[in-house]
Structure formats: structure tokens, C-alpha cells
Amino acid sequence: MEVMHWRDCRETPVEKISYREKMYDVIGTSIRWLSKNGDDGHGNPSYGLRFFTIQPGGEIPAHNHAYDQTMYILKGEFECWEFDPETDEILQREICGPGSSVYIPGMQPHGMKNTGDEPGTFLCCICNVSDDGTLA
């Protein structure tokens, strides 16, 4: 068993994100890895729990990844987007606040922006599971 406080986890700015083989700016966003385990064969953990902070006006632009993820909003207000995988048009736009849970299936393009006037925080759990139910 490992016990730690989120403030004891290293805060790392997220500056760029890849989407469709291009790099895009990420604005006002940092991440703390609360836990991670394994390797999915692409350098990503097979399981991870992350603590994100996004400053007012901060944004994570459209992107996708192989793993499923679930975000749980702790503080602040976010506009969350789901994009069409073919055209990148917005398919769904939701305002999410504390207590909201957002599930994103693997490879679904998505993004978000802090629309509030205070830093927003959320937990994000990622997990790569193969077809037979084992961790990838």
C-alpha cells in the first residue's frame, strides 16, 4: 500500500498535446500523477489516476488517445467537448461543474476549457484493458 497527499505529487505543466500528427498548445494546465502502474506498450501507464488543475481560461484542445478515461470534476466550471472523429466538428458541448463525471472512450476526440473565474480541478482515471479483460 502506498499513501500520499496530492500536494506531495510533483506538479508538471502540460504545454503541448498531439492530435492528428500535429502539436497544439495547452493553456494554463498542470497535472499531478497520484498513481500509475504498468505500460501499455506505447509509453503510457496501463492504469493511472491524475489530478489536473486548469487556470481560468485554460484549455486542453481537441485530442484523442487509445485509453478510456473518466474525469470527475472537483472544483470549477468546464466546457467539455466531444468532436466528430472524421470532421472535427463539435458533436456535444456540456458545461460540467463539481460532482460531474465525464467518460471518454478510447480514440474519441475531446477537449475542455475552464470557463469559470477560479482555477478548476478534476481527477482523471485512465485504464488500458485488452479484449480479454487484462491490462494492456
Q: pLDDT (tens digit, 9 = 90+) per residue, 75-134?
A: 999 999 999 999 999 999 999 999 999 999 999 999 999 999 999 999 999 986 555 544
Q: CB count, 10 Å around CB of 3? A: 5
Question: What is the C-alpha to C-alpha distance for residues 7 and 51, in angstroms, rounded to an integer?
Answer: 10
Q: CB count, 10 Å around CB of 76? A: 22
Query: In 3D, which of 65, 54, 59, 72 has the Cα closest to residue 108?
Result: 65
3-state secondary structure of 5: coil
pTM summary value:
0.89
Record the cell numbers describing residue 59, joined without a space.
484549455
Residue with cell 487484462: 134
CATH number of 6-127: 2.60.120.10
